[in-house]
Chain A
């Protein structure tokens, strides 16, 4: 069964360092997303991406964050200068159409720890 895959599973980084989280969405999907979950809290939307551009973003997704689809299969989230409060589980998701009309599928997550 097709699935969304994320790498790495865990990442520990020093405060102020740049990190790139990687995702391979389901191959025929056109819409891509990043969500995050701070430990013990609800899952929060960060950004949606369609047709090589951001279609929607939350207040959390400030200038420190960026997304890119560098090739036909990968979708990345970059955090430019990590802060302690960026520690969270980051989920990538994809859907065939926009989530108003279809189901979104999530990857297994990358647990980011900023020390």
Chain B
């Protein structure tokens, strides 16, 4: 089955800085989602992005399906952006395969 790898595993930012999180997947995908897990453990949907580019406020995401990667951009980071960011992909079937996540800490 598909392998989903995320980098970096940990990231510490000063408030106001920008960052790029990467998600590599081992095979072509039919679905790619990005989530933010907040300190209470909730999984918040950020993007549904099997291909192309989307923007939502300070966050944007790009998936290049032919090269098997997706990027999540966070601009002007805030302390509330802290948490774990997961990407998850579907190769076939009816299940999302999650990466191990990137732990983001934004310091004020």
Q: Which of B15-23, B39-47, B63-71, B75-83 contacts A (4 or more CB under 8 A)?
A: B39-47
Could you say which of A91, A102, A104, A108 has the most chain B C-beta atoms within 10 Å of its C-beta?
A104
Across-interface contacts of B14 in A (CB, < 8 A): none
Distance between Cα atoms of A48 and B93 in the complex (Å): 10
Tally of B interface residues using CB under 8 Å: 23
Are B41 and A100 touching (Cβ within 8 A)?
no
Are A56 and B95 touching (Cβ within 8 A)?
yes
Across-interface contacts of A18 in B (CB, < 8 A): none
Whether B25 is near chain A, meaning CB under 8 Å from some CB there, is: no
Whether B73 is near chain A, meaning CB under 8 Å from some CB there, is: no
Across-interface contacts of A108 in B (CB, < 8 A): 40-42
Partner of B94, one of A98, A106, A111: A98
